[in-house]
Amino acid sequence: MADKGDGGWRRAINKYIGLGTAIVGMAIVLSSFLFLDNLFAWYATVIVGLLIVLAGFLYGAHPFLTSERRFHALRQEVDDFIGLVRRLNAAATEEQREEFQRVKAEMVASVERMGELAGKPDEPMP
């Protein structure tokens, strides 16, 4: 079975980056109301604070530190298997017996490949 660790530093960053940027951004915006008398500095700090909040929101929508996968070959085989399921259903609904049997055989071969790939992490990139 897979290890039940915390998932590494990427998961920790992804978990708290939205909250952290919201707190920091709003702290900057609210402190600009309290501590700045210069109108230009006030506008600048409000814009910076809102940009920090926006950056956290955009990171939440499209995180770039999420790739924790170690079993890429197995994942690719599973994705191919899902495509075979779609083809099998299409053949069944269109009542194409030969295609249905051929796709079933491809699915059995795919399951065998999944068994061979399971538990084997990919080699690290140089």
Is residue 4 one of the residues assigned to a domain?
no
Residue 79 has pLDDT above 70, yes or no: yes
Residues 46, 83 within the same domain: no
The total of structural domains in the chain comes to 2
Residues 53, 76 within the same domain: no
Is residue 94 one of the residues assigned to a domain?
yes
Residues 14, 56 within the same domain: yes
Residues 57, 76 within the same domain: no
Higher-confidence residue of 125 and 90: namely 90
Prediction pTM value: 0.49
Predicted pLDDT at 57: 85
Query: Could you tell me the two tokens for 39?
Result: 């109108």
Is residue 66 one of the residues assigned to a domain?
no
Domain that includes residue 95, residue range:
72-117
Question: Tokens 């900057």 identify what position?
Answer: 28
Give the Cα separation of 36 and 10 in Å (integer): 36
| Nearest residue to 67 (alpha-carbon basis) of 11, 120, 2, 12 | 11
Q: What is the total residue count of the chain?
A: 126
10-14, 39-43, 48-52, 103-107: least confidently modelled range: 10-14
Residues 30, 57 within the same domain: yes
Residue 126 has pLDDT above 50, yes or no: no
- Identify residue 97 by its one-letter amino acid code: R
Final residue of a structural domain among 37, 61, 85:
61
pLDDT digits over 42-68, tens only? 899 999 999 999 988 888 777 665 656
Question: Tokens 């399921």 identify what position?
Answer: 85
Please report how many Cα atoms fall inside a 13 Å half-sphere around the Cα of residue 29, on the Cβ side: 15
Residues with Cβ < 8 Å from 98, sequence gap 6 or more? none
Residues 14, 39 within the same domain: yes
Residue 123 has pLDDT above 70, yes or no: no
Residues 56, 78 within the same domain: no
